[in-house]
């Protein structure tokens, strides 16, 4: 099923970074979902992990990672760790990852799932606040749908850094990439794609359509 995901979801949908494809081919997504959901771990939609949350669809995550142009030198802030799947993939691709999860129960599960990885740090915090203590980050990845991207988060992005995520635009989920220059960040859409909604972005908006 993992091979099928790569062939039918990633390679046919502009996920072209061979490192991303290799990492998603390697990490066992079924280990990050409840036992009853293992048979649908690689389906083309979100998979419930409890606490009202779901793992983002593989295609959405793959497109975000591909567009982020990740390197081994990157220090990444991941928003929406859930049970740790995307953080595990990022651990194969980057130097360090701070994975923020709002749910205490899911954060504990992510820490357990990622305990063998020495370049991943899981923090329980409000998604919309990020994790300023370790800022600045060269890349911020919002692995889910945010109604808006707050300035509190973009302030944690380094100059020349990249931010990728999904926003809701008039009822359509659009993947977006932002590039920071000095104190400003410019965004552009690069795909329409499904995704799972992340809580914690209820504060005042600085980026919306």
The number of CA neighbours under 13 Å toward the Cβ of 90 is: 33
Q: Contact at 8 Å (CB) between 131 and 123?
A: yes
Domain ranges of the chain: 2-192
CA dist., res. 174 & res. 191, Å (int): 6
Burial 116-139 (b: 16+ CB within 10 A, else e): ebeebbbbbbbbbbbbeeebebbb
148-200: pLDDT as tens digits: 899 999 999 999 999 999 988 878 888 999 999 999 999 999 888 777 889 99
75-134: pLDDT as tens digits: 999 999 999 999 999 999 999 999 999 999 999 999 999 999 999 999 999 999 999 999
Say which CATH class 2-192 falls into: alpha beta
Predicted TM-score (pTM) of this structure: 0.92
Look at residue 38 and give its three-state secondary structure.
helix
Element (H, E) at 18: helix 18-26
């Amino acid at each position: 099923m993992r091979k099928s995901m790569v062939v039918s979801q990633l390679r046919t949908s502009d996920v072209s970074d061979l490192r991303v494809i290799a990492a998603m081919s390697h990490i066992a997504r079924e280990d990050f979902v409840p036992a009853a959901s293992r048979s649908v771990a690689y389906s083309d939609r979100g998979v419930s992990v409890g606490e009202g949350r779901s793992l983002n669809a593989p295609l959405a995550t793959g497109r975000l990672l591909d567009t982020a142009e990740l390197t081994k030198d990157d220090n990444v802030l991941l928003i929406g760790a859930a049970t740790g799947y995307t953080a595990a993939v990022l651990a194969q691709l980057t130097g360090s990852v701070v994975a923020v999860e709002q749910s205490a129960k899911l954060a504990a599960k992510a820490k357990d799932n990622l305990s063998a990885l020495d370049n991943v740090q899981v923090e329980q915090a409000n998604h919309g606040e990020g994790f300023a203590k370790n800022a600045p980050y060269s890349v911020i990845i919002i692995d889910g749908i945010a109604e808006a991207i707050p300035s509190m988060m973009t302030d944690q992005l380094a100059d020349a850094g990249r931010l990728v995520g999904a926003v809701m635009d008039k009822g359509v989920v659009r993947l977006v990439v932002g590039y920071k220059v000095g104190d400003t960040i410019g965004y552009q859409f690069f795909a329409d794609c499904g995704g799972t909604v992340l809580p914690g972005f209820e504060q005042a908006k600085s980026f919306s359509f």
